[in-house]
């Protein structure tokens, strides 16, 4: 018996009350089971970068439940900077192993919302501003976790991009922007990773709660993308339980939800909810419960076969994975004069309390009780030339004048000063957004003071999202660690002293100042927030405007250098029946081994039917090269790589033209280009009416010739016009003119206009027959007269 048939068999044995009860959790951390029929409970736990399995013990200082020790891997803000799907999959696998060790069936992650604004309070928990990067990394994370027989909960679907009023805010997002920016990451993750569950978000989109949106939960996610798992609510996100069930929301969390379960049963009895809808939700609940049970049994079987020693060194192994992930994700933003790496014997002073008490994770539901924490001071204990000065406190923004002065004095005496700066935990957390992008003033002041006495100053940053860097031009080097997990201190030292070559890239643009961000005037809103920047999010905005930024998307330096060949294409013209294959050779031309992230962007043709970004990331691959070695990076591009969302057809569409394939080291460091001709996507036939514009008829092959003839005739008659006649203006005016202007400017009767409309529709193939010869004969001179009026 198949799993689905087994589920249906069990559902057939349930009472209405039992079915309805399964649609709500048992408590905070369990999806309800049904012991009578052998349906097991499913245990869930917070993630996504480390388990938070809460105990009954309460922290006397924090007043919150203490969670079991677990490995704190780098949060998504850091992990995304690796641009490494294999690394993310490895982290996911380790997280899945810890889920099994702590008897957790589903981890609540990954969180993949787009970084619309640098101020988002949970940006540390999200991957990127780019949906291509988001989707592939999330898919790898899901594959890694679920390889251990543990499920994931892809969250927060959808557009949960701010904390301000997150439970009630309505986001006004146009259809194209939603499809091109805020949904594709989820689409790729669903299709690639096949998560067991998806978590619906608190917010409304265009005045409809996501948890009540049949369009998003069923039509898009299930019918279009093929999602076959369970939809669970974010904790406390349910507004109308019956409406949610009809939309496709299977489980309300947390439990017990007895009152809302009663509402479901009542709605079924009254015929407001077809019993088939309830049965389908219950079948999905049973399917996930059975997957979880099977995964647990396999884990236990594997444990017995290995002599019950499977978890012996689990956390030590995972600590090393956390250190590796932190080093692979760190970004060398600046390295003037080869300041880094430092020599072991250099007299180096570490400044800033973050060096001794690292900020390695964010606040809120993702907070992990780390198994161990290694600070940079501890990691550098074997380096006799390294000393330490606290400089400023890790928490808060109040300066300690004694610390400040002692740090400046130590910096003046050292050969190198390394300042460990960053955002205090109170600056960014779940529950609220940042109000600015600045570091605490005491940190900026100390950096400036140190630079004044020590030219060899390096800044190491600990932050969950980008910050303003007024001192960036003054320091010699900047190493961005983001929030690097429990191994961030060891990783920092390994990178500073050249034990590991940095290879991270910025997964988000670092603007010069907050006001440069495209959402600046429309974030966070009040009750309603309007996404007026549309598809121009992140580098799509900055690069299209050629705006100066602090550091561009995809930027990251290395201790070596890489040379790129020009990209090679397998075809000069794209054939939608197969992928366009792009290959580029990358050579390490430096003296040390290193890794490079090869980024592929697609630039649209100059003439497009809708405004499009100057280029968009469509692929990336990380390559590892020894000195002098060459490797070929290979990409495959399908139809979607050239497409935009057409709001008229409610589908993906392509413009005909020459698209430029760009390969490079960042969005602003393009090393090679190649051009491919791309045909237009099939379009619905144009239905001509009085408001159809001439430019629309010019785009139709069946009517283009006639309109082109009118254009030529207009040019021929140019010599007979007065001195104020401008043919370019005339042509532009003609292209934008609706057909009804023939009636206004040329004395066309309604009958003439209708005959002409009929003629065009016949030519296009919308109607049978043809318009009268008289209407056809009148069109060219009439259009010329319209053009004359438009050119003066």
Q: Which residues are catalytic?
A: 234
- For 656, the enclosing helix (H) or strand (E) is none
Paired sense of beta strands 616-625 and 594-603, if any: antiparallel
Q: Is 682 exposed, middle or buried (0-12, 13-18, 19+ CB in 10 A)?
A: exposed
* Cα 602 from Cα 618, distance rounded (Å): 7
Q: SS3 string of 104-125? A: CCEEECCECCCCCCCCCCCHHH
Q: How many CB atoms lie within 10 A of CB 632?
A: 12
Partners of 276 in beta bridges: none
* Cα 407 from Cα 152, distance rounded (Å): 46
* Cα 237 from Cα 376, distance rounded (Å): 40
Q: SS3 string of 202-238? A: CCEECCEEHHHCHHHHHHHHHHHCCCCCEEEECCCCC
Residue 364 and residue 351 in contact, taking contact as beta carbons nearer than 8 Å? no
* Cα 343 from Cα 350, distance rounded (Å): 14
Per-residue CA distances from 307 to 101, 150, 313, 317, 647 (Å): 15, 22, 14, 18, 59
Partners of 645 in beta bridges: 652
- For 675, the enclosing helix (H) or strand (E) is strand 669-678
Q: Is 765 exposed, middle or buried (0-12, 13-18, 19+ CB in 10 A)?
A: exposed
* Cα 358 from Cα 425, distance rounded (Å): 11
- For 304, the enclosing helix (H) or strand (E) is helix 275-305
Following CA atoms 473, 478, 482, 483 in sequence, which dihedral angle do they give, to the nearest 10 degrees?
A: -120
Residue with the two structure tokens 């619906």:
200
Q: Is 227 exposed, middle or buried (0-12, 13-18, 19+ CB in 10 A)?
A: buried
What value, to the nearest 5°, has the Cα angle with vertex 482 and ends 422 and 625? 135
């Amino acid at each position: 018996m198949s799993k689905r048939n087994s589920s249906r068999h069990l559902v057939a044995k349930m009472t209405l009350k039992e079915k309805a009860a399964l649609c709500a959790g048992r408590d905070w951390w369990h999806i309800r089971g049904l012991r009578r029929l052998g349906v097991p409970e499913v245990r869930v736990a917070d993630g996504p970068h480390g388990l938070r399995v809460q105990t009954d013990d309460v922290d006397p200082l924090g007043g919150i439940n203490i969670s079991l020790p677990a490995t704190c891997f780098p949060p998504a803000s850091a992990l995304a900077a690796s641009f490494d799907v294999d690394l993310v999959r490895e982290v996911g696998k380790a997280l899945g192993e810890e889920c099994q060790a702590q008897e957790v069936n589903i981890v609540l992650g990954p969180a993949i919302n787009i970084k619309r604004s640098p101020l988002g309070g949970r940006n540390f928990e999200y991957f990127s501003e780019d949906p291509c990067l988001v989707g592939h990394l999330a898919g790898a994370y899901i594959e890694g976790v679920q390889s251990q027989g543990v499920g994931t909960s892809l969250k927060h679907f959808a557009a949960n991009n701010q904390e301000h009023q997150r439970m009630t805010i309505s986001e006004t997002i146009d259809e194209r922007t939603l499809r091109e920016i805020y949904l594709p990451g989820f689409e790729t993750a669903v299709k690639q990773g096949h998560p067991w569950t998806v978590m619906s978000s608190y917010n409304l989109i265009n005045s409809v709660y996501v948890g009540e949106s049949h369009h998003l939960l069923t039509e898009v996610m299930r019918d279009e993308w093929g999602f076959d798992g369970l939809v669970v609510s974010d904790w406390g996100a349910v507004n109308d339980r019956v409406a949610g069930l009809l939309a496709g929301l299977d489980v309300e969390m947390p439990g017990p939800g007895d009152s809302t379960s009663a509402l479901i049963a009542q709605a079924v009895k009254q015929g407001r909810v077809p019993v088939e809808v309830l049965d389908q939700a219950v079948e999905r609940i049973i399917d996930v419960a059975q997957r979880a049970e099977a995964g647990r049994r396999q884990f236990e079987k594997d444990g017995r076969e290995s002599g019950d020693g499977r978890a012996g060194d689990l956390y030590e192994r995972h600590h090393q994975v956390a250190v590796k992930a932190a080093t692979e994700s760190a970004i060398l933003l600046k390295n003037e004069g080869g300041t880094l790496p430092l020599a072991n014997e250099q007299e180096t002073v570490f400044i800033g309390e973050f060096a001794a008490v690292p900020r390695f994770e964010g606040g809120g539901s993702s907070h992990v009780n780390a198994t161990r924490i290694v600070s940079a001071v501890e990691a550098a204990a074997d380096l006799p030339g390294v000393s330490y000065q606290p400089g400023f406190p890790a928490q808060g923004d109040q300066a300690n004048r004694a610390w400040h002065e002692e740090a400046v004095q130590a910096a003046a005496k050292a050969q190198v000063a390394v300042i460990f700066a960053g955002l205090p935990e109170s600056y960014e957390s779940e529950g609220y957004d940042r109000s600015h992008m600045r570091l605490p003033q005491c940190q900026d002041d100390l950096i400036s003071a140190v630079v004044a006495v020590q030219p060899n100053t390096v800044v190491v940053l600990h932050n969950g999202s980008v910050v303003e860097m007024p001192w960036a031009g003054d320091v010699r080097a900047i190493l961005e660690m983001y929030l690097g997990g429990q191994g961030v201190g060891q990783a920092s030292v390994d990178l500073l002293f050249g034990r590991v070559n940095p290879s991270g890239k910025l997964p988000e643009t670092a603007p010069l100042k907050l006001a440069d961000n495209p959402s600046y005037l429309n974030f966070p809103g009040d009750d309603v927030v309007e996404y007026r920047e549309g598809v121009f999010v992140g580098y799509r905005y900055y690069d299209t405007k050629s705006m100066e930024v602090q550091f561009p998307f995809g930027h990251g330096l290395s201790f070596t250098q890489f040379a790129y060949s020009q990209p090679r294409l397998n075809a000069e013209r794209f054939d939608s029946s197969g992928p366009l294959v792009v290959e580029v050779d990358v050579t390490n031309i430096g003296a040390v081994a290193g890794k490079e992230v090869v980024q592929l962007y697609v630039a649209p043709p100059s003439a497009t039917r809708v405004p499009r970004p100057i280029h968009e990331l469509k692929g990336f691959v990380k390559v590892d090269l020894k000195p002098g070695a060459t490797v070929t990076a290979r990409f495959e591009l399908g139809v979607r790589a050239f497409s935009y969302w057409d709001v008229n057809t409610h589908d993906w569409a392509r413009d005909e033209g020459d698209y430029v394939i760009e390969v490079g080291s960042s969005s602003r460091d393009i090393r090679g280009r190649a051009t491919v001709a791309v045909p237009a996507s099939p379009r619905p036939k144009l239905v001509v009416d009085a408001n159809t514009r001439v430019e629309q008829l010019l785009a139709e092959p069946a009517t283009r010739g006639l309109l082109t003839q009118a254009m030529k005739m207009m040019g021929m008659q140019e010599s007979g016009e007065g001195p104020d006649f401008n043919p370019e203006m005339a042509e532009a005016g003609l292209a934008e003119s609706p057909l009804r202007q023939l009636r206004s400017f040329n004395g066309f009767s309604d009958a003439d206009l209708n005959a002409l409309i009929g003629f065009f529709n016949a030519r296009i193939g919308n109607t049978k027959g043809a318009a009268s010869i008289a209407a056809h004969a009148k069109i060219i001179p009439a259009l010329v007269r319209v053009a004359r009026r438009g050119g003066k």
